[in-house]
Structure formats: C-alpha cells, structure tokens
C-alpha cells in the first residue's frame, strides 16, 4: 500500500523556470545513478546526447498537469531501468520515445545520431503512439501492428509498458472519460501483456490503478481496510515467520523471508469469486522465501524449504502449485503452497531462488540476462514465433484478432502431455481440438476425437493441467462452422477459417459458372464492377459469398430483371428495400456524436431513445456510459459491467458520455441477495424495513432456509443508487443479516 500511495503522489506544478531546470537535472542524475552498473565506454555520452535532444525537442511542451513534458520521458526511462531492468539502448529510446510523433525531430535525425538499432525501436514506439493513443476506432487493427513490432524487438513493448505505467500513475490530471478509456485499455490489454512478459509488479500496479478509476468506491473501501489492519497483519506475519526462520538458519540457508500484502484488485477478485466480505478473504498477504543458491541446486533447495514449512504448518494439498517442474511460458518459476497458520488462518507461501525472483520481478529483461541458449529458457521465443504465425493470417478481422490474442496469448496456461511425454502449453479453456491443431494443422483438420488419460472423449472436451492426450484422426473428416465455437487458440481458429474458406471456394465454382451464363444471356460481362453490384444488391460481403449462395441454391439471380445493361455494366433500375430497412433508421455515428456529447436521462430522456443493458441493469446514480450498437441504437452500460472494459478499450469510437438527471417519478427494477441466520421474524423485519419504513415497492421475493441459514432473493423498484445504498446500510444493521449483495435481474 505504501509504495502504491507513493507512486500516486503528483509532482509539484508551481515551480519557477529556474526550479524546473534544477528539477530536470536532478531527475536526469538520478537516472544516471540507477543506470551506472550497465554503462560501458561511450554509453554515458550517448545517454547525454539523447537527454539533451529530448529536452530541446520538448522545451515548449507541458503535460495536462502543468509540469514540463520532459518529466514524462525521464520517468519512463527510470521505470525501464529500475523496474523492468532494461539497459542503455532502451534508456535512450525511452528518453526519445515521443520526439518523432510530437516534435520536429525525424527518424533520419535519430538514425544519424544513434544508428539503426535505436531508430528501429523508436519507429515501433511511434507507430504504437500514433495508432493506439490517438485513434481509438483503429485500436484493434493497430494492436496487430504493435505485435508485429514486438516480435521483431520485444524492447518496444517493454518501453511501451513503462510509458503506460507512468501515464496510469499520473492519470489524476485527466478528464473523467479519458481516465475510463485509458484504464479500460490498460486492464484489457496492457496489464495482461505485462503479466505475459513476466512483469508481475507492473501488472499488479496497473490493475490497482485502473480499479481506482473504474471502481473508485470499492477501491477506497479495500485500501482503507488494508491500512486499518496493517499493524495486525505485520504482527501475524512475524509470528508465522519466526519458526520458519529458525529452521532455515539451522539448515544453513542463505535466504530472505518476508510478507507482502495482496493487491487491492486481487483481493476484490477473490471477494467476488468466493462471494465473501473483505474480512473473510483468508490470504490477504503472501509469505515469500527467496533462497540464494547455485542454479544446479535450486530445485532441491526450494523443495527442502517446502518440507520445512509443511513440517510446521499443515498444507492444503489442492493448493500446491509446482512451477519448478513446469515453468510458465513467461519464464515464471516458483513453488506456491497454502498452509494453515496460527489462529486458524490460511497463509500462501511462495518459494523461489534468487534467480527465479529476478525473473519474476523483471520478466523478459531478466530472462535475457540468464538465457544460455536452448532448452526451457527459449519459451519466450516460442511464444513470439506463435504470435508471428497468427499475425500472418491477413483475413482475420481486427476485433476478432484482439479477442484471439487475449484468449490465446494473454490468458493463464495449462500444460498437457503428448503420448510420448512432451509438454505442450495451452491457454486455460483449451479443448482436445486446440491440442490437435497445436501439433499440426493437418492433424487438427482430420481430428474426430481424442483419448485423454487413455479414455475416449469428444474433441470438444476441455483439458486440464496434467492431461495426456492422443489425437484420433480420419481422412474423411473436414472442419465445419461449429468447430469455431469449440476452440480458444488463435492458431486453431485461423486454420478452421482457412479450411472453411477453401471448401467454400470449391463449392462456389458451380455458382461462378452459373453467374457467368446468366450475365452473358442479358449482354453483361462478368467484371469486378458487375459482381460488386450484385453482391451489394444481395447484401453479401464478396463475390465469393455470392457464388457460394448461388451454388447452394439460396439465390437464383431472378432479380437480374431489376437491372439494366449500359455498355457492359449493370445498373439497378429501382431499389428494392428489404423489410428490415423500412423500420426507423438509427442516427448515424456522426449525428449521435454531435447531438449527444452529454446525454441527460430522466426528465430529458425524450431527447434520444436508449435501452438499459441486460448484462448489468444500470439504475440512476450508477456510473454509466452509452454504447452505440449497430443493431439496437444506444445501450447504457454500467462502468463496472462485465463487458465494459472490452467495449471501452476496443470500440472507443462508439462510446458516448452519459449522466443521469434526478427524476423521482421513474423506478428501476433491481435485485438483492440477502443471507443470514434463519431466526423467527427475520423475513418480517426485512419486508417491514423495505416496504414500511423506506416505502420501496417489492416486485417479488423468494426465500430458502436450510440448516439454520436463509437465502433471500428480492426484486424491487428503486428510483436511484442513493436509495439502494441507503437500503443496503439499513439491511446490514438488522440483527442476523450476514451479507447483502446487488444482482442484475432478468426482466
């Protein structure tokens, strides 16, 4: 918590020009101090040149907070060196990362001064800046470009992560809608990417800071409770560590041992997942043991420490995580176990070597440092080559690509075995069909089933870590459309789509021949223009789809009579409007943007038609945003809706700012889940409070009691969030009530 609060402190903005100059020099010298161990002959002069070039280029520029712009590149460079572990070349690139985009400096200037390696990285960073930060409507497409650069030189993405980290730490000075957009992008793409690069500390802080803006009330509540329980936690950690320390000393280990609190975001995730209150989250902190031992003794030392800990405290066997035998593909190695500590509290213990700890904290940069060629250390290279393979597919749409990238490359992993015992890493949720495609495209395409742990299963069977698979194939098998819903990896999806397209092309040949005959009969040629006209008339995306629909007898070209031939070109005589278009047209994106920059709901709701999203059921007072959907007009979502981060980050151009107006005449349906002790009259007390005291209309109520505990679901109509919050407070004050939660009702 202390470190997080320190990072959120805003710099001084009321410095004089002279004080600013001194502050810039002070920050530059601090950067040189952390860089000192990595400086070789001539490096200091290069860093100095890049610093002077950046200062000169940005001299007239200020950040939104009012501070000199050069503070930002200096901070990004410091994060690169101090927190990510990058070196001199990356420092130079970090100092210059915004110059080509924002100033008069060109890539040629940088090439002349610093050479091609640095120029290439800055070119990659410039592309990211111009495509991601400036133009949200193109974000998904441009993310593909970012990853192409990433696979050429991963330092590009590491510097970009440092840039995003500093922007998150200084987000307070931005407008609220910008805070939401940047936080959503961060949590949707950048935090998972930091996790995938092994940068756990950066990933954790990104998630916490994003939560500060996306769910401010919950963030503040958990932060306050963590601060309140800090002394109590420290006392408990010392009590837990004492006997472990004595045992390690006796065995002669060189080690560090300490406790660290879980992040606010991970505590909140656990509260939601387990459906518990803050006080009931059992592992609010983790104990970390780091042993200093030669690399050939690491595994043995970690297991020895594990045996010491479990001799003293009983472990939960199902909570053992062995990433020593099978490291994660981002290089993470450790033993995690959860044990029963003093006072009946569960405690997570993480055991790793000094080398493993550096890789856990510095990720990819440390991975390079320890890489000795070949073997397990090449997991990053395998990951990059898999991304390159997927990027090679030109047909995949941008939004699909962003989704595929998240599910295939940024998710948690499982490891499964081939019949010969080779390990394959796959994303969580992978099926036997994903496994088949991961071995070879031809095996995936011919897959008819699999044996998992020697038992026959369908190829849609979801895999678990440790499964051993044998794929069963048939030469008669062909991929079908429904296969797409059975896979999560990008490789499998792309290969299935390619196979379907190839099959479509073969079938479409008959349709092509039929179309040519029909066109010749009316004196028109089969030109690209004419095919485009016909495809547009039938509302199909391409000529291939037109030929395919004709081949399968869905279209017979009777409507050619509605065209006339001028020269050899087809021209539509009259436009036949499909039924669906006779309905009232939605306002264009431009119209919505112009008229509804700020939409007021309530008494002014007649200004624009909107619907409330079924996925999150907003009520007045909730933080909300509007999303212009293609088929349903404007839909209002809560900021903490399960779909919010995806919509805000990848479809930002269709987001409309919204706020509620006060209107006590309109009521909104919502739901409460109440749990407590099944005492006489408890239900009467609840209904009396809601209907009698607060005059809130109850729509429906169901109560189930079992073994002394009752669970009630109440649907009720409230005017706004303030009314709902007051109801929460009063219900929790009733004797015997354990928890009250809001849920979204289905109408």
Q: Given 20, 101, 123, 744, which residue is catalytic?
A: 101
Q: Given 7, 20, 43, 102, which residue is catalytic?
A: 102
> Which residues, 6+ apart, have CB-to-CB distance to 535 below 8 Å?
541, 542, 543, 545, 546
Q: Where are the beta strands (DSSP E) in 613-696?
A: 624-629, 633-638, 655-660, 668-677
Quickly list DSSP for 181-240: HHHHHIIIIIHHHHHHTT-HHHHHHHHHHHHHHHSHHHHHHHHHHHHHTHHHHHHHHHHH
Q: Distance between CA atoms of 145 and 152, rounded to whole angstroms? A: 11
* Exposure of 447 in the CB half-sphere (CA atoms within 13 A): 35
Residue with tokens 């213990």: 349
> Which residues, 6+ apart, have CB-to-CB distance to 507 below 8 Å?
548, 551, 552
- Compute φ and ψ for 571, nearest 5 degrees: -135, 135
- 510 included as an active-site residue: no
Read off the tokens for 724: 């709902």
Q: Distance between CA atoms of 331 and 520, rounded to whole angstroms? A: 63
The answer to whether the CB of 269 falls within 8 A of the CB of 210 is no
**CA dist 182 → 278, 353, 647 (Å):** 28, 36, 12
CA torsion, ordered 91, 94, 95, 101, to nearest 10 deg: 150
- Checking 374-380 for CB contacts under 8 A at 24+ apart, the result is 376/327, 377/331, 379/327, 379/328, 379/329, 379/330, 379/331, 379/425, 380/154, 380/329, 380/330, 380/331
Q: Distance between CA atoms of 562 and 570, rounded to whole angstroms? A: 10
**CA dist 554 → 503, 518, 519, 545 (Å):** 17, 16, 18, 11
Among 133, 147, 126, 130, which residue's Cα sits nearest to residue 398? 147
Reduce the DSSP state of residue 681 to 3 states and report it: coil
3-state helix, strand, coil in the chain (%, to 5): 55, 15, 30
Among 616, 615, 607, 619, which residue's Cα sits nearest to residue 656? 607
Sign of the CA dihedral running 72, 138, 481, 447: negative
**CA dist 594 → 133, 585, 597 (Å):** 22, 17, 6
DSSP conformational letter for 556: -
Q: Distance between CA atoms of 712 and 706, rounded to whole angstroms? A: 12
SS (H, E, C) 28-95: HHHHHHHHHHHCCCCHHHHHHHHHHHHHHHCCCCECCCCCECCHHHHHHHHHHHHHHCCCHHHHHHHH
- 311 included as an active-site residue: no
Among 483, 480, 477, 527, which residue's Cα sits nearest to residue 504? 480
> Which residues, 6+ apart, have CB-to-CB distance to 365 below 8 Å?
84, 85, 86, 158
Q: Which helix (H) or strand (E) element contains residue 499?
A: helix 490-521
Residue with tokens 């030392």: 301
Active site residues per annotation: 101-102
């Amino acid at each position: 918590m202390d470190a997080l609060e320190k990072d959120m402190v805003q710099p001084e903005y009321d410095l004089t020009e002279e004080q600013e100059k001194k502050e810039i020099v002070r920050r530059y010298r601090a950067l040189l101090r952390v860089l000192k161990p990595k400086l070789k002959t001539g490096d200091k002069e290069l860093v100095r040149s890049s610093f002077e070039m950046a200062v000169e280029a940005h001299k007239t520029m200020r950040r939104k907070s009012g501070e000199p712009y050069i503070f930002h590149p200096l901070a990004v460079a410091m994060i690169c060196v101090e927190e990510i572990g990058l070196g001199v070349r990356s420092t130079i690139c970090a100092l210059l990362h915004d110059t080509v985009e924002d100033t008069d400096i060109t890539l040629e200037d940088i090439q002349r001064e610093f050479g091609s390696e640095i120029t290439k990285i800055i070119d990659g960073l410039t592309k990211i800046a111009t495509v991601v930060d400036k133009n949200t409507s193109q974000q998904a497409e441009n993310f593909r470009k970012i990853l192409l650069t990433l696979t050429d030189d991963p330092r590009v993405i590491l510097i970009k992560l440092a840039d995003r980290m500093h922007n998150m730490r200084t987000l307070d000075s931005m407008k609220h809608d910008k805070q939401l957009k940047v936080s959503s992008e961060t949590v949707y793409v950048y935090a998972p990417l930091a996790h995938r690069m092994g940068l756990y500390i950066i990933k954790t802080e990104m998630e916490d800071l994003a939560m500060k803006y996306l769910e401010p009330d919950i963030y503040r509540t958990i932060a306050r409770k963590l601060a309140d329980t800090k002394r109590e936690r420290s006392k408990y950690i010392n009590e837990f560590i004492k006997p472990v320390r004595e045992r390690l000393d006796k065995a002669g280990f060189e080690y560090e041992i300490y406790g660290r609190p879980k992040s606010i975001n991970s505590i909140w995730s656990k509260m939601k997942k387990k459906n518990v209150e803050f006080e009931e989250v059992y592992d609010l902190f983790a104990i970390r043991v780091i042993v200093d031992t030669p690399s050939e003794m690491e595994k043995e030392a970690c297991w020895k420490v594990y045996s010491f800990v479990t001799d003293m405290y009983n472990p939960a066997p199902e909570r053992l995580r062995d990433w020593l035998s099978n490291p994660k593909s981002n290089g993470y190695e450790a033993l995690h176990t959860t044990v029963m500590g003093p006072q009946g509290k569960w405690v997570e213990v993480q055991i790793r070597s000094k080398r493993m700890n550096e890789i856990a904290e510095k990720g990819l940069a440390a991975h390079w440092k320890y890489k000795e060629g070949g073997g397990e250390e090449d997991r990053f290279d395998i990951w990059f080559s898999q991304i390159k393979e997927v990027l090679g597919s030109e047909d995949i749409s941008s939004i699909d690509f962003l989704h595929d990238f998240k599910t295939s490359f940024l998710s948690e992993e499982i490891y499964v075995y081939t019949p010969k015992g080779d390990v394959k890493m796959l994303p969580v949720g992978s099926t036997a069909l994903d496994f088949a495609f991961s071995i070879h495209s031809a095996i995936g395409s011919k897959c008819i089933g699999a044996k998992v742990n020697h038992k026959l299963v369908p190829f849609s069977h979801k895999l678990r870590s440790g499964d051993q698979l044998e794929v069963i194939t048939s030469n008669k098998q062909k991929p079908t459309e429904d296969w797409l819903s059975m896979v999560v990896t990008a490789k499998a999806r792309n290969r299935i789509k390619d196979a379907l397209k190839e099959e479509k092309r073969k079938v479409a040949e008959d349709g092509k021949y039929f179309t040519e005959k029909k066109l010749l009969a009316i004196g028109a040629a089969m030109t690209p223009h004419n095919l485009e006209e016909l495809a547009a008339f039938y509302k199909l995306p391409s000529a291939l789809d037109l030929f395919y629909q004709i081949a399968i007898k869905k279209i017979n070209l009777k409507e050619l009579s509605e065209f006339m031939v001028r020269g050899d070109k087809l021209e539509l005589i009259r436009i036949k409007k499909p039924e669906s278009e006779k309905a009232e047209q939605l306002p264009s994106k431009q119209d919505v943007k112009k008229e509804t920059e700020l939409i007021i709901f309530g008494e002014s709701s007649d200004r624009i038609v909107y619907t409330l999203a079924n996925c999150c059921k907003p009520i007045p007072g909730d933080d909300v945003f509007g999303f212009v959907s293609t088929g349903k007009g404007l839909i209002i979502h809560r900021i903490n809706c399960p779909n919010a981060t995806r919509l805000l980050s990848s479809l930002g151009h269709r987001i409309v700012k919204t706020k509620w107006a006060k209107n006590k005449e309109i009521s909104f349906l919502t739901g409460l889940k109440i749990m407590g002790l099944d005492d006489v009259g408890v239900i009467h007390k609840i209904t009396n409070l809601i209907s009698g005291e607060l005059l809130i209309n109850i729509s429906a109520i169901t109560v189930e009691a079992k073994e002394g505990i009752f669970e009630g679901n109440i649907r009720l109509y409230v005017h706004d969030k303030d009314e709902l919050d007051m109801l929460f407070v009063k219900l929790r004050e009733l004797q015997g009530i354990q928890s009250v939660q809001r849920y979204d009702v289905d109408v």
